[in-house]
Chain A
Amino acid sequence: MSENIFKQRALFINLSTKEIKVIEVPKDTVVKYIGGRGVNAYFLWKLVNNRIHPLSEDNVLIFGTGPFTGTFIPTAGQLTVTSKSPLTQRYFKCNAGGHWAIELRFAGYEYVIIKGKADRPVYIYIEDKNVEIKDASHLWGKDVRETNKIIKEELGDNEIQVACIGPAGENIVKFASIMVSVYHVAARGGLGAVMGSKKLKAIAVKGSERDVEVAHPELLKKLVHEVISNLPNNVKGKVYYLYGTSGSVAPVNKLYAFPSYNFKKPYFEKAEELDGVTLVERGYIKGRAGCTACPFHCHKFYKVEKGKYACYCGGPEYETLGALGAGCGIGNPEAVLKMHEICNIYGLDGLSAGAVIQWTMECIERGVLTKEDIDGLDLIWGNADAAIELLMKIIYREGFGNILAEGLKYAAEKVGKESWKWAIQARGLEQSRVDTRSAKAYALAFAVNPRGPDHLHAQPIAEFGAWPESRRLIKELLGDEKYANPYIIDKKPELVRWHEDIFAVTEALGLCSFSTTTTYILKPQNLAEMFYALTNVKISPEELLLVGRRIVTLERCYNVREGLRRKDDTLPWRLMHEPVPEGPPKGLRNSPEELDKMLDRYYELHGWDKRTGIPLKSTLIMLGMSDVANELKKLKILPLE
């Protein structure tokens, strides 16, 4: 029973040649990047260079688990999906819950790498050593629920886990998602479109071959029990358990950080209607559809029993309620839940979908687009029925939906007339639902996020100081609780960098970011101890955070190779130039000067060149990434020191 962490296996499948092989991941790669998001990123760095188009057969789609996957360490059920995004043309990782990752690990693999393009629709079935590429022509066009049902029926096993795309992915909608375990989702960046471009409908997996072994069972048991015995006292954890992320809607709205009407306002007058507490009280939330090994089960299951919005689905989440609801001015919870269901079962990222719809609404309001331009839809603020119709047009690329299906950046370029000013996107990705004008750590985190302006690279929620756990963290990290203030920029680069490091290593280990950030139940010390108990490999908390840093730096280098520079580390135009119009944060904005100040310090902390934003050679050497440095040097983009 020894250092089994170093025996990681990747299943490599080329859909063009039908080649299937198993690759042992080199020990050196595991030492540096540990697993999950880290090793995924390294595979992408090696396999997909800057000349490869995201929708070409040379792009790869990587599904990765971590060394904690398969154990009962809280939240150890996460899957990281990595690819080059057709929406941003750059590095992209998505993290999804559910029960798929654990089955893959039990089947004997840490990773699945998909390359090539099938000539007709296929799905992959993995059952331990048996791996098959199967015909999926009968599944093409089917929604996510039907796909799951048919696959489980034809394989005759209810316990099979499925990751699949819906019609949106098949139609290469640039923000199509991959749906995991029916209602869990690797949502953003259009990784579903990558899967669709490969004509890959689904990957079904079931495993029992591999036992996940533990070096020091008694120690691991003790460590896990210590952590979970403290859970009932965790404020945010309890909110997740009771209401999920939708429990944040009303509180964030009270802070005037809940954008509505396409970020024109920081406050939504009907936010209470969409809040988790309301959804539970009115009986829409029927239960929980959580992930493997998670004590919180933040992902809910809802049902609207009757009426024209009758529906049922997993969720909803804060982000989708914000994007499909408040952002579009829709305050009827039943309508928003229906839109959320449509996004999920047709495999569409609800956040981006909401963003393009509300941008269209503002175009109509401003007269930049007319009713005729958008196929006669009466798309005024709050008209849910028109929004639902437009959603379907996006999924099937009909009429104006065909333009929106290319993403917000493209649509604004196409429509022109300064409509980019209210296109709330940066680097091609639609921003998630935080008004960064009144949350400065979020602003920095969004500006430097390799995906684009969203919350899943670093989640510096501690800056609000809303819970005892976050205030404690601020004091520990920054020396004083006074920095728990979202309106100030002092020490925010430090806060963001810490969150980046921990977020990256959390996802490399196979955990959910809600364990180490937001609830802050697992500290770097806990991770290091559990890592030792599991693998017999001693690692300090600082070294673990450094693994996170290495991953973040590699992701940066990937994007640098794609052409990203400091000038791209920005936020949507509206947030940088239009001040918050009302409420306590009135007058605040993410001015270029303010962002520059934070960026300077941030690059300094990272050891990146301040002028270009490119990691310095000395930094790469310090992190043990000389191979990456050599590649950048060869391409003549490494800055002089």
Chain B
Amino acid sequence: MLVCSFKHEGKFNFTYSRVRILSDEINNVHIPLVCEHCGEHPCLDACPVEALYLDNKLGIVKVDRDKCIGCGNCVKACPYNGIFIDKNGKAVKCDLCDGDPECVKVCIFPQAMKYVDITYENLISKHESMISKIKLLKGVRYE
């Protein structure tokens, strides 16, 4: 979260981070919330002003912050809680640091994050992690 804020804004504040962590501290469950770069991109469909667009270089959805009006429709549309409104009222989401993600670099010991090529095996394991995350999310939310 910290390095993400730093990379994108040059300063530190959790609200600038494109990745958040949903925690149940009592039971020590921590779930990273970040754009899964899914194929359906419901966020893009939900945007009323076309502030979200598909970037062809990495094939991911990006935010045009000049166009964004901060309505939060994308936040509601995302099933993974992977897009946020920052403290300036604009949508922020993971852009994979244009192919060189900073978060991966600071995850030294656990190496919980990897930036890998698209292969069949990698897609399967990513799909599995998305399913288990949705399950965890249902268990933690206070709503």
Residue of A nearest to B9 (CB): A211
Interface size in chain A (residues, C-beta < 8 A): 43
Cα–Cα, bound, A296→B110 (Å): 9
Verify A70–B12 contact, CB threshold 8 A: yes
Cα–Cα, bound, A286→B122 (Å): 26
Verify B14–A208 contact, CB threshold 8 A: yes
Verify A212–B26 contact, CB threshold 8 A: no
Interface size in chain B (residues, C-beta < 8 A): 26
- Chain B residues in 8 Å Cβ range of A301: 28
Cα–Cα, bound, A200→B87 (Å): 31
- Chain A residues in 8 Å Cβ range of B24: 158
Verify B13–A214 contact, CB threshold 8 A: no
Verify A296–B109 contact, CB threshold 8 A: yes
CB-CB under 8 A for A297 and B10, given A149-B26, A289-B25 = no
Q: Does B108 count as interface, using CB distance less than 8 angstroms?
A: yes
Verify A152–B6 contact, CB threshold 8 A: no
Verify A208–B27 contact, CB threshold 8 A: no
A-side interface mostly: mixed
Cα–Cα, bound, A292→B12 (Å): 13
Q: Does A221 count as interface, using CB distance less than 8 angstroms?
A: yes
A-B contact count (CB 8 A): 82
Cα–Cα, bound, A210→B16 (Å): 12
Cα–Cα, bound, A287→B16 (Å): 28
Cα–Cα, bound, A145→B142 (Å): 15
Verify B11–A211 contact, CB threshold 8 A: yes
- Chain B residues in 8 Å Cβ range of A211: 9, 11-13, 16
Verify B27–A312 contact, CB threshold 8 A: yes
CB-CB under 8 A for A158 and B6, given A208-B87, A214-B11 = no
Q: Does A231 count as interface, using CB distance less than 8 angstroms?
A: yes
Cα–Cα, bound, A318→B20 (Å): 32
Quick one: which of B13, B16, B26 contacts A148, CB cutoff 8 A? B26
Q: Does B73 count as interface, using CB distance less than 8 angstroms?
A: no
Verify A221–B13 contact, CB threshold 8 A: no
Residue of A nearest to B6 (CB): A72
- Residues of B1-49 at the interface with A, using a CB-CB cut-off of 8 Å, are 2-3, 6, 9-16, 22-28
How near does chain B come to A206, taking the closest CB pair, in angstroms? 10
Q: Does B105 count as interface, using CB distance less than 8 angstroms?
A: yes
Quick one: which of B2, B6, B11, B109 contacts A297, CB cutoff 8 A? B109
Among B24, B26, B110, which residue has the most Cβ atoms of chain A within 10 A?
A: B26
Verify A232–B109 contact, CB threshold 8 A: yes
Q: Does B123 count as interface, using CB distance less than 8 angstroms?
A: no
Residue of A nearest to B102 (CB): A221
Q: Does A481 count as interface, using CB distance less than 8 angstroms?
A: no
- Residues of B39-65 at the interface with A, using a CB-CB cut-off of 8 Å, are none
Verify A295–B108 contact, CB threshold 8 A: yes
Residue of A nearest to B109 (CB): A241
Residue of A nearest to B28 (CB): A301
- Chain B residues in 8 Å Cβ range of A287: 28
Verify B109–A212 contact, CB threshold 8 A: no
CB-CB under 8 A for A214 and B28, given A106-B13, A153-B142, A158-B22 = no
Verify B26–A182 contact, CB threshold 8 A: yes
Cα–Cα, bound, A293→B12 (Å): 12
Q: Does B113 count as interface, using CB distance less than 8 angstroms?
A: no
- Chain A residues in 8 Å Cβ range of B14: 106, 208
- Residues of A278-320 at the interface with B, using a CB-CB cut-off of 8 Å, are 286-289, 292-293, 295-297, 301, 312, 314
- Chain B residues in 8 Å Cβ range of A145: 26
CB-CB under 8 A for A213 and B142, given A72-B2, A72-B6 = no
Verify A72–B25 contact, CB threshold 8 A: no
How near does chain A come to B31, taking the closest CB pair, in angstroms? 11
Cα–Cα, bound, A130→B19 (Å): 26
For the A-B complex with A148-B26, A212-B13, A232-B108 known, give 6 more contacts whose Cβ atoms are closer than 8 Å: A72-B3, A72-B6, A221-B6, A241-B109, A289-B28, A312-B27
Q: Which 7 A-B pairs have the closest CB atoms?
A: A301-B28, A72-B2, A212-B12, A182-B25, A241-B109, A211-B11, A211-B13
A-B contact pairs, 30 of them (CB 8 A): A70-B2, A71-B12, A72-B2, A106-B13, A145-B26, A148-B26, A149-B26, A152-B142, A156-B142, A158-B24, A182-B25, A208-B13, A208-B15, A211-B13, A214-B6, A214-B11, A217-B10, A221-B6, A224-B106, A225-B105, A228-B108, A238-B109, A286-B28, A292-B2, A293-B2, A295-B109, A296-B109, A297-B110, A312-B27, A314-B28
Residues of A within 8 A of B (CB): 70-72, 106, 145, 148-149, 152-153, 156, 158-159, 181-183, 208, 210-214, 217, 221, 224-225, 228, 231-232, 237-238, 241, 286-289, 292-293, 295-297, 301, 312, 314
